[in-house]
């Protein structure tokens, strides 16, 4: 059955006063007006709300919305040895920023980065909740290097992320996704990424492991990506429009997550059109075991639009299923 | 006159204006009431810049919310979105392009003329560039990113001409999104060129917080007279590249980190200026903060600007630069 998921992030505030309680709580915490525990309480109420919005829209494999993350790079790098976190840098073409990790020594996993967040989020839901980690190739690409070859840096980040995956798996995470947007900017590096994914996959145990690539196409790297030791490959088929042609000609033996709904634009997608496009791949990949999702995390949209997009994901999946 | 000081554009809004904007958005304060306070804050910032001795002034954008949304609010074919996150606990609203862009009349000219009337020093006309407007908008109308960028360029060119006609000698066209997609750098050059073509005023483009490795060769191709760059946040690491590949236009060199509450010491800023002078002659070099200061408090912004001017003055005195 065609299923539904999200890529990871979700707007943590909306336009109503109630939806802005986390913004107010963080501001108060910064002014030392509330304690860290009080901030966590508000944060967790938003995580619950975000999970509920996904459930209500019909998303079968949700995430915690990455509500506690300031950015996808420093959120992990702060928990690794050999890294200092520096100034703000633009995050791809999203008009958001990340604090840039600076490599100052051998990179090693020191402590879990997302384990507590995943534990809490999965405690409010009986069905699986997907844990998301930033991939080693992206971490290496967006960090400021120390002069060592990129291969070495990717390898060290891969071991560090493998440590995180090991911790998640030990805590019971059954669905883990590795995000690698940077590979869309340099698909020629896919061998580097493949080695890194193999390192992570060795730690997954029985967990379902997915790799998601977004913010562009991976047409030239698709063959390698669908041969990785993973259970699912997520593709941005909106900004990565060129991947369609490669998919049609090469297909995939592993199920995919089809990022069909535009997570970067407020324009309302046409689920019928998206479903028709997906159904052109019938016979080329195990469509019935695949997922439909937004093209990337929904945090770049206003909350109300993100909610609308969740509904469009569910509607598209229903239409694809009906067409099988 | 060389080694002049300037600012990038925005200054923080004083608490009375922030409060008034909130009241206005709830319908509790009429337009005239808000405008009077925006004028008061602008007067205060112009007076402050004159008092500490900044050479090329800005109006501080006290009447603007977000730099892209401000233009969206004043263009036909544009709406404004709900809130989206920028970084940490900061959020903004984005333009939503729902139809053909139409400029019914000048957008920034009245404010520029009024603020320039408050000072004899040059005041920059401030526009948000066409590539950035495109990249930061949700596009529900135009068929491609290029079509939308060039549509923005058309209305911004008309605005720049009106600013020049009103007397603006310096026009800054901000392109912070310049490095967003390295495969679109030719489009940045094309769209920016469509704005600056035929202008006699000095033109500047400001950009910041990008990864400039790929962008660097395009710096000399940008159709403006001056490049305004964030340098402190990135540890001045572009200086070495400028030494190898000289910039053939003026540079405004960011010496103040605008994302940090800590006010730099005079010695720290002085060292940054001295490092810049190892590469650029004083006549080519302007000194300013990394970016707009609107995210700081008024006190922090004032202290940072004071340090910048004092450090520049100290360097000029020690080197006999006039």
CATH number for the domain including B304? 3.20.20.210
Reply yes or no on whether the pLDDT at B298 is more than 90.
yes
Residues of A in contact with B233 (CB under 8 A): 87-88
**Both tokens of residue B119?**
């000072």
Does B87 contact A92 at a Cβ distance shorter than 8 Å?
A: no
Give the domain extent around B45: 4-65+108-132+143-319
Does A15 contact B135 at a Cβ distance shorter than 8 Å?
A: no
Does B91 contact A90 at a Cβ distance shorter than 8 Å?
A: no
The CA-based dihedral angle spanning residues B153, B158, B161, B162, taken in that order and rounded to the nearest 10 degrees: -140
Does B138 contact A267 at a Cβ distance shorter than 8 Å?
A: yes
**Would you place residue A267 in the very low, low, confident or very high pLDDT band (cuts 50, 70, 90)?**
very high
- Asked if residue B32 belongs to a domain, the reply is yes
Give the relative orientation of helices A21-30 and A36-57 as an angle to the nearest 10 degrees. Answer: 160
Pick from A227, A266, A231: nearest CA to A130: A231
Q: Torsions phi, psi of A170, nearest 5?
A: -60, -30
Domain positions in chain A are 3-323
Q: Nearest-CA distance from B268 to chain A in Å?
A: 17
Does A93 contact B181 at a Cβ distance shorter than 8 Å?
A: yes
**Both tokens of residue B115?**
């603020």
How many independent structural domains does chain B possess?
1
* Percent with pLDDT over 70 in chain A: 100
Looking at the domain covering A3-323, what would its CATH class be?
Answer: alpha beta
Which residue numbers of A have CB closer than 8 Å to B's CBs?
11-15, 23, 26-27, 30, 70-71, 86-90, 92-93, 95-98, 265-267, 299-305
Mean residue pLDDT of chain A comes to 97
Does B259 contact A12 at a Cβ distance shorter than 8 Å?
A: no
**Which positions ≥6 away from B192 have C-beta within 8 Å?**
B129, B130, B131, B153, B173, B175, B205, B222, B223, B224
Does B138 contact A266 at a Cβ distance shorter than 8 Å?
A: yes
- What own/partner pairs with CB < 8 Å and gap ≥ 24 does A122-129 have? A122/A172, A122/A173, A124/A47, A124/A48, A124/A51, A125/A51, A125/A55, A125/A62, A127/A60, A128/A61, A128/A174, A128/A175, A129/A51, A129/A61, A129/A62, A129/A63, A129/A64, A129/A175
Average pLDDT estimate for A255-266: 98
Reply yes or no on whether the pLDDT at B234 is more than 90.
no
Residues of B in contact with A14 (CB under 8 A): 82-83
Q: Are A269 and A311 in contact (CB under 8 A)?
A: no
- Asked if residue B116 belongs to a domain, the reply is yes
* Percent with pLDDT over 90 in chain B: 90
Q: Which residues pair with A98 in a beta bridge?
A: A89
- Asked if residue B99 belongs to a domain, the reply is no
**Both tokens of residue B89?**
């606990």
ipTM: 0.92
**Both tokens of residue A123?**
């405690």
Give the C-alpha separation, A121 to A38, whole Å: 17
Helix (H), strand (E) counts: chain A: 11, 9
Q: Nearest-CA distance from B83 to chain A in Å?
A: 5
Pick from A89, A97, A74, A142: nearest CA to B210: A89
Reply yes or no on whether the pLDDT at B209 is more than 80.
no
Pick from B132, B109, B112, B131: nearest CA to B123: B112
Residues of A in contact with B210 (CB under 8 A): 89-90
Q: Are B50 and B122 in contact (CB under 8 A)?
A: no
Over residues B78-88, the pLDDT tens digits come to 999 999 999 98
Over residues B14-28, the pLDDT tens digits come to 999 999 999 999 999
pLDDT at B197: 98
**Would you place residue A115 in the very low, low, confident or very high pLDDT band (cuts 50, 70, 90)?**
very high
Cite the DSSP H helix spans in B139-232.
Answer: 145-166, 185-196
Over residues B141-185, the pLDDT tens digits come to 999 999 999 999 999 999 999 999 999 999 999 999 998 888 899
Give the C-alpha separation, B129 to B67, whole Å: 10
pLDDT at B73: 95
Pick from B320, B290, B240: nearest CA to B8: B290
Give chain B's end-to-end CA distance (angstroms, integer).
6
Mean residue pLDDT of chain B comes to 95
Reply yes or no on whether the pLDDT at B57 is more than 90.
yes
Q: Are B136 and B94 in contact (CB under 8 A)?
A: yes
Ranges A101-105, A261-265, B239-243: which has the least confidence: B239-243
Give the C-alpha separation, A126 to B155, whole Å: 54
Cite the DSSP H helix spans in chain A.
Answer: 21-30, 36-57, 74-77, 115-123, 136-142, 150-170, 190-201, 222-225, 243-250, 271-279, 303-323
Average pLDDT estimate for B118-140: 97
Reply yes or no on whether the pLDDT at A249 is more than 80.
yes
Rg of the Cα atoms in chain A: 19
Average pLDDT estimate for B105-118: 98
- Asked if residue B102 belongs to a domain, the reply is no
Interface test mutation site (partner A, options B26, B86, B88, B230, max chain A beta carbons within 10 A): B88
**Both tokens of residue B155?**
């209305």
**Both tokens of residue A252?**
């995939």
DSSP A300: G
Could you tell me whether strands B90-102 and B76-87 are parallel, antiparallel, or unpaired per DSSP bridges?
Answer: antiparallel
Average pLDDT estimate for A181-187: 97
Residue B290 vs residues B56, B83, B266: alpha-carbon distances, Å: 16, 25, 16
**Both tokens of residue B114?**
């009024």
Q: Could you say which of A12, A27, A302 has the minimum Cβ distance to residue B82?
A: A302
């Amino acid at each position: 059955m065609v299923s539904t998921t999200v890529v990871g992030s979700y707007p943590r505030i909306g336009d109503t006063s109630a939806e802005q309680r986390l913004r107010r709580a963080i501001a108060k915490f910064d002014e030392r007006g509330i304690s860290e525990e009080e901030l966590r309480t508000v944060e967790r109420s938003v995580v619950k709300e975000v999970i509920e919005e996904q459930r209500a829209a019909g998303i079968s494999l949700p995430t915690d919305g990455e509500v506690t993350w300031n950015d996808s790079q420093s959120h992990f790098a702060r928990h690794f040895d050999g890294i200092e976190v520096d100034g703000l840098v633009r995050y791809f073409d999203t008009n958001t920023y990340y604090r840039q990790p600076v490599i100052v020594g051998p990179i090693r996993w020191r402590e879990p980065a997302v384990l507590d967040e995943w534990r809490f989020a999965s405690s409010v839901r009986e069905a699986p909740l997907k844990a998301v980690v930033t991939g080693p190739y992206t971490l290496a690409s967006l960090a400021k290097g120390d002069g060592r070859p990129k291969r070495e840096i990717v390898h060290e980040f891969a071991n560090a992320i493998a440590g995180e995956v090991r911790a998640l798996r030990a805590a019971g995470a059954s669905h883990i996704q590795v995000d690698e947007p940077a590979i869309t900017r340099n698909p020629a590096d896919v061998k580097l990424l493949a080695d890194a994914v193999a390192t992570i996959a060795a730690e997954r145990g029985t967990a379902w492991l997915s790799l998601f690539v977004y913010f562009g196409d991976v047409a030239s790297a698709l063959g390698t990506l669908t041969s990785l030791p993973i259970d699912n490959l997520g593709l941005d088929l909106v900004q990565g429009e060129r991947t369609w042609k490669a998919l049609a000609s090469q297909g995939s033996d592993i199920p995919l997550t089809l990022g069909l709904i535009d997570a970067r634009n407020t324009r309302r997608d046409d689920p019928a059109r998206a479903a028709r496009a997906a159904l052109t791949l019938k016979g080329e990949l195990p469509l019935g075991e695949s997922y439909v999702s937004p093209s990337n995390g929904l945090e770049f949209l206003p909350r109300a639009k993100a909610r609308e997009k969740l509904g469009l994901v569910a509607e598209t999946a229903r239409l694809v299923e009906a067409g099988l | 006159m060389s080694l002049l000081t300037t600012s990038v554009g925005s200054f923080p809004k004083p608490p009375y204006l922030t409060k008034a904007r909130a009241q206005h958005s709830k319908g509790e304060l009429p337009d005239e009431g808000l405008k009077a306070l925006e004028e008061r804050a602008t007067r205060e910032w112009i007076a402050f810049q004159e008092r500490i001795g900044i050479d090329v002034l800005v109006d501080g954008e006290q009447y603007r919310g977000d730099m892209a949304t401000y233009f969206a609010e004043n263009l036909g074919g544009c709406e404004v979105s709900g809130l989206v996150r920028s970084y940490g606990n900061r959020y903004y609203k984005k333009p939503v392009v729902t139809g053909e862009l139409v400029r019914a009349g000048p957008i920034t000219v009245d404010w520029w003329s009024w603020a320039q009337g408050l000072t004899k020093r040059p005041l920059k006309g401030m526009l948000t560039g066409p590539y950035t407007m495109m990249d930061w908008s949700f596009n529900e109308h135009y068929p491609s990113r290029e079509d939308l960028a060039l549509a923005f360029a058309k209305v911004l060119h008309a605005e720049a001409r009106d600013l020049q006609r009103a007397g603006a000698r310096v026009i800054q066209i901000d392109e912070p999104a310049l490095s967003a997609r390295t495969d679109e750098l030719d489009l940045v050059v094309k769209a920016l060129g469509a704005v600056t073509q035929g202008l006699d005023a000095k033109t500047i483009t400001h950009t910041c917080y990008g990864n400039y490795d790929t962008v660097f060769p395009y710096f000399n191709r940008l159709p403006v007279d001056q490049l305004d760059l964030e340098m402190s946040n990135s540890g001045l690491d572009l200086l070495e590249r400028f030494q190898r590949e000289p910039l053939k236009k003026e540079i405004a060199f960011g010496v103040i980190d605008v994302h940090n509450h800590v006010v730099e010491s005079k010695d720290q800023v002085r060292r940054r200026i001295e490092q810049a002078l190892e590469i650029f002659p004083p006549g080519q070099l302007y000194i300013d903060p990394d970016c707009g200061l609107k995210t700081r408090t008024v006190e922090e912004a004032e202290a940072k600007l004071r340090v910048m001017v004092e450090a520049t003055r100290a360097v000029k005195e020690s080197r006999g630069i006039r």
